[in-house]
Amino acid sequence: MSQTRITLPITLKGLDSIGASVKPVSVTEWLKNPDTVRHRYTYPEAMRYGPFDPWDLLEEFLTCSVEDWEGFILMAGSFGGVFITKNDFKEWQQLLKRALVLPARKWKTLAGEFDPKKVSKLRMGLPIQFDFESEPPTATLLGLTSLGTMIAAIQLDKLQGAEFRVCARPDCKSPPFKVGTRQKIYCSPECAHVVAVRNSRTRAAGAKPVRKPKPRKQTRNDRRK
Protein backbone atom coordinates (compact mmCIF):
# COMPACT_ATOMS: atom_id res chain seq x y z
CA MET A 1 0.00 0.00 0.00
CA SER A 2 1.52 3.29 -1.09
CA GLN A 3 1.80 6.21 1.32
CA THR A 4 2.05 9.94 0.76
CA ARG A 5 4.07 12.04 3.19
CA ILE A 6 2.78 15.56 3.72
CA THR A 7 4.05 18.49 5.77
CA LEU A 8 1.54 20.14 8.06
CA PRO A 9 1.86 23.69 9.46
CA ILE A 10 1.45 22.68 13.11
CA THR A 11 1.30 25.18 15.97
CA LEU A 12 1.69 24.30 19.64
CA LYS A 13 -0.22 26.85 21.68
CA GLY A 14 1.41 28.50 24.68
CA LEU A 15 0.10 27.36 28.02
CA ASP A 16 -2.32 29.57 29.94
CA SER A 17 -2.28 28.02 33.38
CA ILE A 18 -4.35 28.31 36.52
CA GLY A 19 -1.87 28.15 39.36
CA ALA A 20 -2.42 25.14 41.59
CA SER A 21 -1.37 24.52 45.16
CA VAL A 22 -0.82 21.00 46.44
CA LYS A 23 -1.82 19.71 49.85
CA PRO A 24 -1.06 16.29 51.33
CA VAL A 25 -4.05 13.98 51.55
CA SER A 26 -2.85 12.74 54.92
CA VAL A 27 -0.81 14.94 57.26
CA THR A 28 0.22 11.88 59.25
CA GLU A 29 1.54 10.16 56.13
CA TRP A 30 3.27 13.37 55.04
CA LEU A 31 5.15 13.51 58.33
CA LYS A 32 6.26 9.89 57.86
CA ASN A 33 6.92 9.80 54.09
CA PRO A 34 7.02 13.32 52.56
CA ASP A 35 8.39 12.03 49.21
CA THR A 36 5.69 9.44 48.57
CA VAL A 37 2.58 10.89 50.19
CA ARG A 38 -0.11 11.78 47.69
CA HIS A 39 -0.97 15.47 47.27
CA ARG A 40 -4.19 16.80 45.80
CA TYR A 41 -4.47 19.94 43.69
CA THR A 42 -6.30 22.97 45.06
CA TYR A 43 -7.09 26.30 43.44
CA PRO A 44 -7.61 28.71 46.31
CA GLU A 45 -7.28 31.92 44.31
CA ALA A 46 -7.50 30.65 40.71
CA MET A 47 -4.53 32.81 39.72
CA ARG A 48 -3.87 32.72 35.99
CA TYR A 49 -0.31 32.69 34.65
CA GLY A 50 1.15 32.65 31.17
CA PRO A 51 0.98 32.16 28.37
CA PHE A 52 4.16 30.11 28.66
CA ASP A 53 6.14 29.14 25.61
CA PRO A 54 6.05 25.31 25.65
CA TRP A 55 9.82 24.93 25.18
CA ASP A 56 10.60 27.53 27.83
CA LEU A 57 8.22 25.74 30.19
CA LEU A 58 9.98 22.43 29.48
CA GLU A 59 13.39 23.93 30.26
CA GLU A 60 12.02 25.49 33.44
CA PHE A 61 10.66 22.12 34.50
CA LEU A 62 13.83 20.16 33.76
CA THR A 63 16.01 22.65 35.65
CA CYS A 64 13.66 23.02 38.60
CA SER A 65 15.01 21.76 41.92
CA VAL A 66 12.98 18.81 43.16
CA GLU A 67 12.74 20.59 46.50
CA ASP A 68 10.86 23.41 44.74
CA TRP A 69 8.38 21.12 43.00
CA GLU A 70 5.38 22.76 44.67
CA GLY A 71 6.54 26.16 43.38
CA PHE A 72 6.59 24.89 39.81
CA ILE A 73 3.05 23.55 40.07
CA LEU A 74 1.89 26.81 41.62
CA MET A 75 3.22 28.57 38.51
CA ALA A 76 2.41 26.07 35.75
CA GLY A 77 -0.72 24.45 37.11
CA SER A 78 -1.90 20.88 37.46
CA PHE A 79 -0.03 18.02 35.80
CA GLY A 80 -3.38 16.39 35.25
CA GLY A 81 -5.05 13.62 37.20
CA VAL A 82 -6.18 13.96 40.79
CA PHE A 83 -3.07 13.29 42.85
CA ILE A 84 0.69 13.80 42.62
CA THR A 85 3.68 13.05 44.85
CA LYS A 86 7.12 14.57 45.11
CA ASN A 87 8.52 11.33 43.70
CA ASP A 88 6.11 11.60 40.74
CA PHE A 89 7.51 15.04 39.95
CA LYS A 90 11.08 13.73 40.18
CA GLU A 91 10.33 10.70 38.00
CA TRP A 92 8.69 12.85 35.32
CA GLN A 93 11.82 15.01 35.24
CA GLN A 94 14.05 11.97 34.76
CA LEU A 95 11.70 10.41 32.19
CA LEU A 96 11.48 13.52 30.01
CA LYS A 97 15.28 13.94 30.08
CA ARG A 98 15.69 10.36 28.89
CA ALA A 99 13.01 10.86 26.23
CA LEU A 100 14.95 13.81 24.80
CA VAL A 101 18.15 11.83 24.17
CA LEU A 102 16.49 8.61 23.00
CA PRO A 103 15.00 8.13 19.52
CA ALA A 104 11.21 8.14 19.80
CA ARG A 105 11.02 4.57 18.50
CA LYS A 106 12.88 3.45 21.65
CA TRP A 107 10.65 5.23 24.14
CA LYS A 108 8.78 2.01 24.85
CA THR A 109 11.98 0.54 26.34
CA LEU A 110 11.77 3.14 29.10
CA ALA A 111 8.99 1.08 30.70
CA GLY A 112 11.77 -0.99 32.23
CA GLU A 113 13.18 2.07 34.03
CA PHE A 114 10.08 4.11 34.85
CA ASP A 115 6.43 3.71 35.70
CA PRO A 116 4.89 2.08 32.58
CA LYS A 117 1.81 4.32 32.91
CA LYS A 118 4.00 7.41 32.65
CA VAL A 119 5.83 5.97 29.63
CA SER A 120 2.48 5.21 28.00
CA LYS A 121 1.41 8.82 28.54
CA LEU A 122 4.67 10.01 26.99
CA ARG A 123 3.94 7.98 23.84
CA MET A 124 0.26 8.87 23.66
CA GLY A 125 -0.94 10.95 20.74
CA LEU A 126 -2.19 14.44 21.55
CA PRO A 127 -5.35 16.05 20.11
CA ILE A 128 -4.97 18.18 17.00
CA GLN A 129 -7.44 20.91 16.12
CA PHE A 130 -7.69 21.97 12.46
CA ASP A 131 -8.48 25.56 11.56
CA PHE A 132 -9.83 25.77 8.02
CA GLU A 133 -10.77 29.44 8.37
CA SER A 134 -7.13 30.61 8.32
CA GLU A 135 -5.13 31.01 5.13
CA PRO A 136 -3.48 28.63 4.69
CA PRO A 137 -5.37 26.21 6.97
CA THR A 138 -3.40 25.28 10.07
CA ALA A 139 -3.33 22.54 12.68
CA THR A 140 -2.97 23.31 16.38
CA LEU A 141 -1.57 20.74 18.78
CA LEU A 142 -3.31 20.96 22.12
CA GLY A 143 -1.25 20.23 25.24
CA LEU A 144 -4.10 21.03 27.66
CA THR A 145 -2.12 20.56 30.91
CA SER A 146 1.40 21.66 31.83
CA LEU A 147 2.64 18.08 31.49
CA GLY A 148 0.77 17.55 28.22
CA THR A 149 2.22 20.76 26.81
CA MET A 150 5.78 19.71 27.66
CA ILE A 151 5.27 16.24 26.18
CA ALA A 152 3.88 17.84 23.02
CA ALA A 153 7.00 20.02 22.73
CA ILE A 154 9.21 16.92 22.90
CA GLN A 155 7.07 15.06 20.39
CA LEU A 156 7.28 17.94 17.91
CA ASP A 157 11.07 18.10 18.29
CA LYS A 158 11.28 14.39 17.53
CA LEU A 159 9.00 14.76 14.52
CA GLN A 160 11.40 17.38 13.17
CA GLY A 161 14.39 15.10 13.69
CA ALA A 162 15.98 17.17 16.46
CA GLU A 163 18.91 15.54 18.26
CA PHE A 164 19.62 16.08 21.95
CA ARG A 165 22.71 15.28 23.97
CA VAL A 166 23.80 15.30 27.60
CA CYS A 167 26.58 17.82 28.28
CA ALA A 168 30.05 16.25 28.28
CA ARG A 169 30.94 18.09 31.49
CA PRO A 170 30.38 15.37 34.12
CA ASP A 171 29.00 17.67 36.83
CA CYS A 172 26.82 19.84 34.60
CA LYS A 173 23.29 20.21 35.96
CA SER A 174 21.69 21.45 32.74
CA PRO A 175 19.11 19.31 30.91
CA PRO A 176 19.94 17.69 27.54
CA PHE A 177 20.55 20.31 24.86
CA LYS A 178 19.69 20.45 21.17
CA VAL A 179 22.79 19.58 19.17
CA GLY A 180 22.14 21.50 15.95
CA THR A 181 24.41 21.36 12.91
CA ARG A 182 27.72 21.91 14.73
CA GLN A 183 27.52 18.63 16.70
CA LYS A 184 28.84 20.28 19.85
CA ILE A 185 29.38 18.20 22.98
CA TYR A 186 28.98 20.90 25.64
CA CYS A 187 25.75 22.71 26.45
CA SER A 188 27.44 26.10 26.72
CA PRO A 189 30.78 27.88 26.21
CA GLU A 190 31.04 28.10 30.00
CA CYS A 191 31.01 24.30 30.39
CA ALA A 192 33.55 23.92 27.57
CA HIS A 193 35.82 26.46 29.29
CA VAL A 194 35.54 24.73 32.69
CA VAL A 195 36.52 21.37 31.17
CA ALA A 196 39.43 22.93 29.25
CA VAL A 197 40.78 24.53 32.45
CA ARG A 198 40.44 21.27 34.36
CA ASN A 199 42.23 19.31 31.64
CA SER A 200 45.02 21.89 31.56
CA ARG A 201 45.51 21.63 35.33
CA THR A 202 45.50 17.84 35.16
CA ARG A 203 48.20 17.85 32.50
CA ALA A 204 50.24 20.36 34.48
CA ALA A 205 49.96 18.28 37.66
CA GLY A 206 51.06 15.17 35.78
CA ALA A 207 54.14 16.78 34.22
CA LYS A 208 57.51 15.65 35.63
CA PRO A 209 59.21 18.32 37.76
CA VAL A 210 62.35 19.88 36.33
CA ARG A 211 65.39 18.75 38.30
CA LYS A 212 67.73 21.45 39.51
CA PRO A 213 71.44 20.81 38.79
CA LYS A 214 73.38 19.66 41.84
CA PRO A 215 75.93 22.18 43.15
CA ARG A 216 79.48 21.35 42.00
CA LYS A 217 81.91 20.42 44.70
CA GLN A 218 84.78 22.80 45.20
CA THR A 219 88.22 21.61 44.17
CA ARG A 220 91.60 22.68 45.51
CA ASN A 221 92.06 24.98 42.54
CA ASP A 222 88.73 26.65 43.27
CA ARG A 223 89.76 27.29 46.87
CA ARG A 224 93.08 28.79 45.79
CA LYS A 225 91.18 31.28 43.62
Spatial separation of the C-alpha atoms in residues 132 and 138, rounded to whole Å: 7
**pLDDT number for residue 110:** 96
**pLDDT number for residue 26:** 93
**pLDDT number for residue 40:** 93
Give one word for 17, left, alpha or beta, with left for phi > 0 and alpha for psi -120 to 50. Answer: beta
**pLDDT number for residue 135:** 81
**pLDDT number for residue 46:** 64
**pLDDT number for residue 37:** 94
**pLDDT number for residue 3:** 76
One-letter identity of residue 175: P
**pLDDT number for residue 15:** 84
Contact call for residues 173 and 63 (beta carbons, < 8 A): yes
Angle at the Cα of 49 from the Cα atoms of 46 and 50, rounded to 5 degrees: 150
Strand partners, 98: none
**pLDDT number for residue 217:** 57
C-alpha distances (whole Å) from 127 to each of 50, 80, 81, 174, 200 are 21, 15, 17, 30, 52
**pLDDT number for residue 215:** 57
**pLDDT number for residue 214:** 58
Nearest to 57 by CA among 148, 128, 162: 148
**pLDDT number for residue 111:** 95
- Per-residue model confidence as pLDDT tens for the chain (225 residues): 677 877 777 888 888 888 888 999 998 998 899 999 999 998 876 678 878 899 999 999 999 999 999 999 999 988 888 899 999 999 999 999 999 999 999 999 999 999 999 999 999 888 888 888 888 888 888 777 899 999 999 999 998 888 988 888 988 988 898 887 677 888 888 998 898 888 888 888 876 555 555 555 555 555 555
Return the number of other C-beta atoms located less than 10 Å from residue 20's C-beta: 23
